[in-house]
Amino acid sequence: MQISLLQCQSGADVQANLAFIEALLALLPRVDLEPQLVVLPEACLLFGGHESKQKHIAKSAVESPLLGSLANLAKQYQVYLIAGTIPILAHDGRAYSRSYLFDDDGEELGCYDKLHLFDVEVSDGTKTYRESDTFYPGNKISVVDTPFGKIGLAICYDLRFPELFRAMRLAGAELIALPSAFTKVTGEAHWQTLLQARAIETQCFMLAANQWGANDGGRETWGQSMIVDPWGRILAQKKTGCGWVQAPLDKTKLNDIRQQIPVAIHNRFAKPTLIEQS
Ligand SMILES: O=C(O)CNC(=O)[C@H](CS)NC(=O)CCC(=O)C(=O)O
């Protein structure tokens, strides 16, 4: 089995972003008929551009043309696809930032609404990020059964909240996908360390696909998409530029690591419970 992450420089033009993702999927090296899991970055079809985002917020998952085009790509290229993220209308006019997991027939196996919204001050050109102006937070975790193993779904800023990752591990996760648009400034400072920490703590593979470069609206993202194994080793990474990161999935050491260092059993703290926020 093979894992691939795509590193994109998505903008406000949905068709251009879609064409770029399709071009990468067509070029992606494949090992014969081995199952392939592909993870896309956050906001892969629509990044920045507030007006464009409003226009595309789908009334429902079923009506979303963005969703349909990604499901088609999964089917056409015969890959399991984690599509991060698509805006899906919430009850108050904002949108959920939702990722989807499709099988290689384009069927939806699960989805996840970003739990932690990026309302943060960063010392960069944008300075103030207010994700909650446009987005509404989800209220549950998501761990999906697939031929690759149980995959936990998280998104970008979620990476800073270890309780979410512990909750996914306790729900059976073996791999955790993290579509992201981590900023250049915070990515340079924290991205690799946080990914390795979450991999080591949860003893899961981290599949972190990030946006890279200058994006529409003056944003800059960090890149360095990477696959980290449950021991914290970086199996593959791409620091800059658009393209892909690939590694074969070898889970043979996963159970050894969990048996040798049984942190999930030793943990003296209560299981995390999700606090709902309005
Ligand atoms: O708004 C869009 O179009 C796409 N979404 C994003 O860029 C999101 C919300 S603003 N970015 C992050 O969560 C960055 C987290 C981060 O950089 C950190 O935790 O340091």
Closest ligand 1 atom to Cα of 116: 13
In a domain, 7, yes or no: yes
C-alpha distances in Å from residue 258, one per residue of 169, 254, 255: 11, 6, 5
In a domain, 278, yes or no: no
Nearest CA to ligand 1 atom 7: 181
Q: ipTM, 2 decimals?
A: 0.96
pTM across the whole model: 0.96
- State the distance from the centre of ligand 1 to the C-alpha of 38, rounded, in angstroms: 20
In a domain, 100, yes or no: yes
In a domain, 48, yes or no: yes
pLDDT in 10s for each residue of the chain, 278 residues:
999 999 999 998 999 999 999 999 999 999 988 999 999 999 999 887 666 667 777 666 667 788 899 999 999 999 999 999 999 999 988 999 999 999 999 999 999 999 999 999 999 988 899 999 999 999 999 999 999 999 999 999 999 999 999 999 999 999 999 999 999 999 999 999 999 999 999 999 999 999 999 987 788 999 999 999 999 999 999 999 999 999 999 999 999 999 999 999 999 999 999 988 65
Is residue 227 within 8 Å of residue 205, measured between CB atoms? yes
In a domain, 273, yes or no: no
Q: Where residue 68 sits, what CATH number does that domain have? A: 3.60.110.10
Nearest CA to ligand 1 atom 3: 47
In a domain, 98, yes or no: yes
> What 3 state SS string does the chain have?
CEEEEEEECCCCCHHHHHHHHHHHHHHCCCCCCCCEEEECCCCCCCCCCHHHHHHHCECCCCCCHHHHHHHHHHHHCCCEEEEEEEEEECCCCCEEEEEEEECCCCCEEEEEECCCCCEEECCCCCCEEEHHHHECCCCCCCEEEECCEEEEECCHHHHHCHHHHHHHHHCCCCEEEEEECCEHHHHHHHHHHHHHHHHHHHCCEEEEEEEEEEEHHHEEEECCEEEECCCCCEEEEECCCCEEEEEECCCCCHHHHHHHCCHHHHCCCCCCCCCCCC
Residues with CB under 6 A from ligand 1: 42-43, 47-48, 118, 129, 131, 156-157, 160, 181-183, 186
Nearest CA to ligand 1 atom 13: 157
64: containing domain: 2-266
The pLDDT assigned to 229 comes to 98
Indicate the number of domains in the chain: 1
- State the distance from the centre of ligand 1 to the C-alpha of 219, rounded, in angstroms: 10
* 214/38 Cα distance (integer angstroms): 23
Please, which residues bridge with residue 250 across strands?
none
Q: Is 145 exposed, middle or buried (0-12, 13-18, 19+ CB in 10 A)?
A: exposed
Task: Count CB-CB contacts under 10 A for residue 178.
Answer: 30
In a domain, 166, yes or no: yes
In a domain, 275, yes or no: no
Active site amino acids: 42, 114, 156
